[in-house]
Amino acid sequence: MSPAARSKIHAVYREMRRAGPIHRVTDPFSGAPAWLVLTHEGANRVLRDTDGFIRDASSLMSDEQRTAAPPLPPAALALVGLTHKDPPEHTRLRALVQKSFTPRRVDGLRARSRLLARRLLDAIDGEDEFDLLAAFAFPLPILIILELLGLPGEDYARFRGWSEALVGDDIPRKLEVAGIVRAYLDPVIDRRARTPSDDLLSGLVHARTSDGERLSRDELHAMVIVLLVAGHESTVSLIANGALALLTHPEQRARLLADPALMRPAIEEMLRFDGPIDFSFVRYASAATELCGASIERGQRVFVSLLAANRDPDVFDAPDRFDIGRQARGHIAFGVGIHACVGAPLARLEGAEALLELSRRRPGLELAIPAEAVAWRPSRLIHSPRVLPVRGR
Ligand code: HEM
């Protein structure tokens, strides 16, 4: 997790993968022993075997342990949404959010993404040197999520602060913000319950399963928080890492400008080459098992490096080469299995619109520092530069 290792993370994983498909590590957050899977095959096994590798460790507790555990404060309920659940609860929540994530609603955001990208580029039109991350990559995804949910764009600054706290590791602050978001959402949810509009929040408030069940108020809070957290920084990083790949591969950028229809495979290649997310969410072994030749004990944590799996030479030819024409099918930047990203169509669309506008408007843009000097965030989750200094027009 050190900044030095993060800045050459692909080389680190290449070495580790050569030494073996799975490694014993320490969970940097809890300090507990854990496993890290680095191959495409191992990643698929863990993410698809939802009986063997579960998300909610509390189901492994004995009745006594469960009774002895302190009750969660009410705001904590808003922090354990869809991503933290296993079937059957996950199946129900997922069906409800999937219903609201209609292709029409997502596609409706294409023109909006383009317009927002243009406005952000207008705002820096006079500048020859700027941070592409702060000026362009960062604001777009959160504005789009607000639009998707039907929340006012003027609340951007507030959501930005909340989102930052919610992805952070400061638990008391997270709980405080979860409480603030709940209080913010309640009157909005009440309004949507009385008078639905065309947004995703109305969809979530009114969605019903085939048994007529709906999301409870706690589940609605948690769902909005999951969408905000899962959809924001990951998409920022798709735009930033995609721009970086294009800036450091001018021949690929020229190909894209000559044939914008290549944007579709190019986005897949960006997701494969330098995906926005490194580790999947942690999984717990539900029973002692064998994985990639290692003996995993019941309850042990297993992480999957999506970045390493997406450069597995057994699956991708010359994996360290960035080639927008390669049709990078089979990358797992959005995960696989039942937890695979619900927002993938939206993320692809935002990335494509943003990067096309940027390439057209600033075809002469270049990195203002050597590529090796780009500082990456020391995060196991988000794989993104901290800043992206660029210059030129
Ligand atoms: C390029 C941008 C994105 C990337 C790379 C990405 C990646 C992922 C990955 C890897 C997972 C699965 C994690 C795991 O299994 O441990 C996931 C789940 C999820 N993503 Fe995304 N995501 C992106 C954008 C979005 C957007 C824009 C939204 C919504 C607005 C979103 C909403 C979700 C949700 C709700 C889940 C949980 C699904 C479940 O547990 O069933 N994501 N995402």
Nearest partner of 270 among 305, 235, 246, judged by Cα: 246
- Model pLDDT, residue 30: 81
- Model pLDDT, residue 392: 95
Residues of the chain below pLDDT 50: none
- Model pLDDT, residue 216: 92
Distance 306 CA to ligand 1 centre (A): 12
Distance 232 CA to ligand 1 centre (A): 10
Residues near ligand 1 (Cβ within 6 A): 47, 82-83, 94, 145, 226-227, 230-231, 234-235, 238, 275-277, 280-281, 306, 333-335, 339, 341-343, 346-347
Ligand 1 atom 25 nearest Cα = 231
Residue 26 φ then ψ, to 5°: -110, 130
Torsion of the alpha carbons at 174, 175, 179 and 181, rounded to the nearest 10: 20
Distance 125 CA to ligand 1 centre (A): 32
- Model pLDDT, residue 1: 78
Cβ proximity of 34 and 300 under 8 Å:
yes
Ligand 1 atom 26 nearest Cα = 231
Distance 339 CA to ligand 1 centre (A): 8
| Widest Cα–Cα separation across the chain | 65
Residue 292 is classified by DSSP as: T
- How many Cα atoms within 13 Å fall on the side-chain side of residue 235? 30
Residue 231 belongs to what H/E stretch?
helix 217-248
- Domains, the chain, in order of start with CATH, read 3-391 (1.10.630.10)
- Model pLDDT, residue 65: 84
Query: What is the token pair recorded at 73?
Result: 């404060």
Ligand 1 atom 13 nearest Cα = 280
Looking at ligand 1, which atom is closest to the CA of residue 336?
A: 15
Residue 306 belongs to what H/E stretch?
helix 306-309
Cβ proximity of 79 and 221 under 8 Å:
no
What gap in Å lies between CA 158 and CA 161, rounded to an integer? Answer: 5
Nearest partner of 332 among 310, 305, 304, 303, judged by Cα: 310
- Model pLDDT, residue 170: 86
What gap in Å lies between CA 329 and CA 109, rounded to an integer? Answer: 25
Q: Is 91 helix (H, G, I), strand (E, B) or coil?
A: helix
pTM of model > 0.75: yes
What gap in Å lies between CA 223 and CA 217, rounded to an integer? Answer: 10
Distance 64 CA to ligand 1 centre (A): 34
